[in-house]
Amino acid sequence: MSQLRTTTQAPATPGVAGARKRGALRALWRHRWPLLFVSPFFILFAVFALYPIVFSLYLSFHEWRGIGAMRPVGLANYSRLFTDRIFWNAMQNALLLFFIYVPLMTFLAVVIATMLHGGFLKLQGMWRALIFMPHLTSMVAAGFTFRLILDTHSGFANRALTLLGASPIPWLDDMWWARISLGLLMIWAWLGYNTIIMLAGLQTIPTEVNEAAAVDGASRVQVFFRITVPLLKPVILFAVTLSIIGTFQLFTEPYILTGGGPMRATETPVMQIFSSTFANMRFGYAAAMSYVYFVTIVVLAIVQFRLVSRGDR
């Protein structure tokens, strides 16, 4: 009996393996029509998503100018990248821009969503459409419009300040004012989108909670900060995570509004990758930038989730 227990199972014979293979082929043939109808998605995903990801990773270990043969360089692109002050300055710009506009935009989105959800405003459908409309506007058109408004010499903003007796502000000519100007454009463009996200989150909070707090004597401000915001924390975390990704992916807005200036103060990582690829023709180096940039975003998102989850304990 003990000998039977210690015996091992014999490996599958070639006949058994062939039978399994034929069974798998028959199963594929039976499901050929469903597989045929879903195949376009997987083909397009492989061609336009999976292949570029794999090829860019392969490219990051080579030096290539877009034509001719690739020259393997190993980790030279990555080692050069960690000492590239211009790239890390772009990463720093994205981080500063995040702290300039995301906290204010998120707070305003929660406040406006609370007002729309609580019935403080009449004609809520109209207000929801108006608050979301800037997000539907072309960022190219919005960037040029803000550039005209914030022009230092002939812009509407400085003309209005002059009429009020104040000094003109170098909106696009000073490093910090240029970052603030870009933050204003981002708030204008993305406030409605975040408001809709917050409004969807508010609709999942039971009304009985707020009613009970009101019966206990809590004011609207206390209900907002002690009940609404804590219950809305998962939605806020989701919106802030999207804002982190979106801030580091900025291209159109700073490219149109400031061109990355002055003195590279508003140059973002994507702008630097674009410049390295199409201006300097350093495709391998730009691919290495992309992967370091991707890892940085993932690390920031993980740290944010860890900090929030630790605060909930």
> What is the mean predicted confidence (pLDDT) over 93-117?
91
For residue 282, how far is the Cα from the chain centroid? Answer: 25
What integer pLDDT is reported at residue 14 of this predicted model? 59
Instruction: Please check the confidence at residue 144 and state whether its pLDDT lies above 60.
Output: yes
Burial, 9: exposed, middle or buried (Cβ in 10 Å; 0-12, 13-18, 19+)?
Answer: exposed
pLDDT in tens, 106-128: 999 998 988 888 766 677 778 88
What integer pLDDT is reported at residue 308 of this predicted model? 67
Cα–Cα nearest to 292, from 263, 267, 259, 270: 270
> What is the mean predicted confidence (pLDDT) over 11-18?
61
Domain ranges of the chain: 79-312
What integer pLDDT is reported at residue 31 of this predicted model? 81
Among 1-5, 164-168, 182-186, 295-299, which stretch is predicted with the lowest mean pLDDT?
A: 1-5
Torsion of CA 82, 301, 305, 186, to 10 degrees: 120
Task: Give the pLDDT band (50/70/90) at residue 310.
Answer: low
Instruction: Please check the confidence at residue 252 and state whether its pLDDT lies above 60.
Output: yes
**What CATH number has the domain spanning 79-312?**
1.10.3720.10
> What is the mean predicted confidence (pLDDT) over 207-211?
79
> What is the mean predicted confidence (pLDDT) over 11-26?
70
Task: Give the pLDDT band (50/70/90) at residue 1.
Answer: very low
Q: Helix, strand, or coil here: 62?
A: strand
pTM of the complete model: 0.81
What integer pLDDT is reported at residue 212 of this predicted model? 83
pLDDT in tens, 173-205: 999 999 999 999 999 999 999 999 999 888 888
Instruction: Please check the confidence at residue 262 and state whether its pLDDT lies above 80.
Output: yes
pLDDT in tens, 275-293: 888 888 899 999 999 999 8
Task: Give the pLDDT band (50/70/90) at residue 15.
Answer: low
> What is the mean predicted confidence (pLDDT) over 68-93?
90
Taking the CA atoms of the chain, what radius of gyration do you get in angstroms? 27
CA dist 102 and 104 (Å) reads 6
Instruction: Please check the confidence at residue 6 and state whether its pLDDT lies above 70.
Output: no
CA dist 188 and 132 (Å) reads 10
Instruction: Please check the confidence at residue 8 and state whether its pLDDT lies above 60.
Output: no
Which residues, in sequence order, are CB contacts of 77 under 8 Å at separation 6+? 60, 61, 63, 284, 285, 287, 288
What integer pLDDT is reported at residue 312 of this predicted model? 58
Burial, 113: exposed, middle or buried (Cβ in 10 Å; 0-12, 13-18, 19+)?
Answer: buried
Phi and psi, residue 260, nearest 5°: 90, -10
> What is the mean predicted confidence (pLDDT) over 128-141?
88
Q: In this prediction, what percent of the chain has a pLDDT beyond 90?
A: 39
Mean pLDDT for all residues in the chain: 85
